[in-house]
Amino acid sequence: GENVEQHPSTLSVQEGDSAVIKCTYSDSASNYFPWYKQELGKRPQLIIDIRSNVGEKKDQRIAVTLNKTAKHFSLHITETQPEDSAVYFCAASITGTASKLTFGTGTRLQVTL
Amino acid sequence: ETGVTQTPRHLVMGMTNKKSLKCEQHLGHNAMYWYKQSAKKPLELMFVYSLEERVENNSVPSRFSPECPNSSHLFLHLHTLQPEDSALYLCASSQEGAGGPVTGELFFGEGSRLTVL
């Protein structure tokens, strides 16, 4: 089955700096790659996703890039703010739907003042 | 209420107890899930129900027993659990297949924090 690896496990950046979280996947058939954010004590929520027919997607300060040849995808957060502090999970799906998602282990991002 | 709600939010039980976790979704979705979230581990999919039929089990121990009486409600019945079962149990829903827009997004509840003594 699919295996998703995520790095780093923890990341500390100063407010205003950029943060990058990287994931690799094993199944070349995977075609849907969402990112979820989980604030402390809260539920995970989808923040951005990308499908295999595009290489990059942006939404304000966050962006996701996908390299299908290398089987890796990354989350980029620019101009980080304290409210970006959370755990971020990447995931991959071979069906393009939520029913077959495989999650990474998560990255705890801490944005310091 | 909107979204996905879970009860109880916290549960402490002994290894010989029987308890149940409840999940309700108000989004009109046709698929519901149970995930287990442990520290430093990926979100582990336990069960998937699509159109009220269980479609995925993922080799979960029989001490966890799901029930999906209709498309809006999902239960996880717990009995003779082990301390290593202590975790956050997350319910989620999504729209799969026909009947609505399929976005691939999972909508999670706040979770039920389970502690097994």
Q: Tell me: the pLDDT tens digits for A66-75?
A: 999 999 999 9
Q: Confidence class of residue A87 from pLDDT cuts 50, 70 and 90?
A: very high
Contact B94 A102 (CB under 8 A): no
pLDDT of B1 strictly over 60: no
Whole-angstrom Cα distance, residue B37 to residue B89? Answer: 6
pLDDT of A7 strictly over 80: yes
Q: Give A47 or B17, the one with higher predicted confidence.
A: A47
Contact B106 A32 (CB under 8 A): no
Q: CA nearest A8: which of A17, A38, A19, A16?
A: A19
pLDDT of A85 strictly over 80: yes
Report, as an integer, the average pLDDT of B12-40.
Answer: 92
Contact A42 B56 (CB under 8 A): no
* Residue-level pLDDT at B59: 85
**Phi and psi, residue A106, nearest 5°:** 95, 150
Report, as an integer, the average pLDDT of B44-61.
Answer: 84
Report, as an integer, the average pLDDT of B32-42.
Answer: 90
Give the A-side interface with B, CB within 8 Å.
4, 9, 32, 34, 36, 42-46, 49, 89, 93, 96-99, 101-106
Q: Confidence class of residue B57 from pLDDT cuts 50, 70 and 90?
A: confident
Question: What stretch of H or E contains B12?
Answer: strand B10-13
Contact B105 A46 (CB under 8 A): yes
Nearest CA in chain A to B50: A99
Q: Which residues of B42-64 are buried (b: 16+ CB within 10 A; e: fewer)?
A: bbbbbbbbbeeeeeeeeebeeeb
pLDDT of B101 strictly over 70: no
Contact B111 A89 (CB under 8 A): no
Residue B31: Cβ within 10 Å count = 24
Report, as an integer, the average pLDDT of A14-36.
Answer: 96
pLDDT of B83 strictly over 60: yes
Per the prediction, chain A carries an average pLDDT of 94
* Residue-level pLDDT at B98: 63
Report, as an integer, the average pLDDT of A77-96.
Answer: 94
CB-CB neighbors (< 8 A) of B96 in chain A: 97-99
Contact B42 A9 (CB under 8 A): no
CB-CB neighbors (< 8 A) of A42 in chain B: 110
Mutate to test the interface with B, among A37, A88, A103 (most CBs of B within 10 A): A103
Q: Which amino acid is at A68?
A: K
Q: Confidence class of residue B99 from pLDDT cuts 50, 70 and 90?
A: low
Contact B104 A34 (CB under 8 A): yes
Q: Is B94 an interface residue toward A (CB < 8 Å)?
A: yes
Nearest CA in chain A to B34: A99
Whole-angstrom Cα distance, residue B114 to residue A18? Answer: 36
Give the largest Cα separation in chain A, rounded.
41
Q: Confidence class of residue A77 from pLDDT cuts 50, 70 and 90?
A: very high
* Residue-level pLDDT at A53: 80
Report, as an integer, the average pLDDT of B103-108.
Answer: 88
